[in-house]
Amino acid sequence: MDNPGEEDEGGPATGKSASGAPENPDSDAAGLEALSQEAEQQAVFAEAGVSDDLLALRDAIEARLLSASGESRAQSDGSSSEGIVGVGIGLPDPTNVTFGAGGPGEPVLTIFTESAMPQEAVLGQVAQAAGTRSLSSVPVQQVPVGVVDAYSHRARHRPAPGGVSVGHVNVTAGTLGSRAIGLTAPWNNRHLILSNNHVLANSNAASVNDSIIQPGSADGGRHPGDQIAVLARWVPINFGGAANFVDCAFGWAWHDRIRGEQYYLSGGSAAYYRTGTAALAASLGLIVGKSGRTTGLTQGRVTQIGVSVNVNFGGGRVALFRNQIAIQSVNANPFSAGGDSGSLIWHWASGVRPVGLLFAGGGGTTFANPIASVLSALNIRLLP
């Protein structure tokens, strides 16, 4: 396999190769992708027994969130639908207040808020979105998450595994998610590393062939001594009011500077495990795990699916993400924290199948892109 800078049919790593430049998909391809994701999500909802009324109300609140996203509407200024930052479909949590009808285990409409709001205020916002729809049959629960931010495994590792500190040379640090390979030339002959756009591509501010270092700069990494890859491709984040589905990017790595396993600490000693490669769709209650730069190896539970959430990327930039996964820890320890962005989330079961790519969180709730959407958007597959 080729290393960065070696000439092949795709050309040297000059930043001018069309195959390496980030591209917005054409409208037809983007439309097909959105339809595919929507169909997959609808199948998950049907299996979970989600009612049409619940979905219609979620869509109405999502439309209000979309109007609150964009360059100039940071959540902290109070413009995010008056305290609501996200909405999703979940299972009732006895630790959160639930309003309205609904039997034990019945799916509920989850409203993510910046801070705890009175019941009347939450229902008032939901009623505005509902319009003429009746709310009597729709159970609603509130989950305060604060402002949702786009977020030791911090040492230098050679070769670098998944789960450790990494980042664009101008980014503090995130997490190396996984090793991957492209589905088409020239990327099908190159070792790639997967993480978030905001980790590897500096939230759209990077250029092809920028240096990716391990560990990230916040953990002492420096260019060129700690470089493991060059930035190759990313999906641009839309801050202009359109919906996003993924926050992802990949770098083209030197094959001898990365490895396929995930890293974690076991009794103070380095340990490794491998994940599967076949994507698994998230379902309510699914037990998942991840290994990340800040919180290490943790276990969580999928609490909401089909989530739409406004995410704060700093500098007054807020972007809406649709069809996301929400996860909470199964114990008193947090599932994730800042610096864990880019971690690969997987099913905590035999096969260790990938489920999502961690990209944001707040108030004890972690948000992730469905891994199938990430792989499709970047046209890659994971390597074991």
Domain ranges in the chain are 30-144
> Rounded to the nearest 5°, which phi and psi values hold at 114?
-65, -35
How many residues comprise the chain? 384
Q: Count Cβ atoms below 10 Å from residue 306 Cβ, excluding itself.
A: 28
pLDDT value of residue 134: 58
When pLDDT is cut at 50, 70 and 90, the band that residue 15 belongs to is very low
More confident residue, 44 or 160: 160
Q: Token pair of 229, please?
A: 């890859």
Phi/psi of residue 75, each to 5°? Answer: -60, -35
Least trusted range by pLDDT, from 17-21, 88-92, 371-375: 17-21
Closest C-alpha to 232, from 265, 193, 288, 262:
193
What is the number of alpha carbons within 13 Å of residue 104 lying toward its C-beta?
A: 0
State the helix-helix crossing angle for 371-378 and 27-48, rounded to 10 degrees.
170
What are the tokens at 314?
């700093």
pLDDT at 115: 92
Residue among 199, 116, 148, 145 at smallest CA distance from 310: 148
Pull the structure tokens for residue 154. 């911090």
pLDDT at position 143 over 90: yes
- Give the H/E segment covering residue 97: none
Lowest mean pLDDT among 43-52, 74-83, 330-339, 352-361: 74-83
Copy the structure tokens of residue 312. 């704060």
Comparing 218 with 21, the larger pLDDT belongs to: 218
Distance in angstroms (rounded) separating the CA atoms of residues 166 and 153:
10
What is the rounded distance in angstroms from the CA atom of residue 146 to the CA atom of residue 311?
A: 11
Q: How many angstroms separate the CA atoms of 50 and 44, rounded? A: 9
Query: Do 233 and 24 form a contact (C-beta atoms < 8 A)?
Result: no
Q: Which amino acid is at 107?
A: P
Over residues 366-378, mean pLDDT: 98
CB-side neighbour CA atoms (13 Å) of 277? 10
Distance, CA of 221 to CA of 211 (rounded, Å): 11
pTM, to two decimals: 0.87
What values do phi and psi take at 165, rounded to 5? -60, 135
Cis peptide before 22 (omega within 30 of 0): no
User: Residue 70 gets which letter from DSSP?
Assistant: B
Of 252, 136, 274, 148, the C-alpha closest to 194 is 252
Residues 230, 212: contact at Cβ < 8 Å? Answer: yes
**Rounded mean pLDDT, 275-295:** 97
- What lies within 8 Å, CB to CB, of 130 at 6+ separation is 57, 60, 138
pLDDT of residue 11: 34
**Under 8 Å between Cβ of 284 and 303:** yes
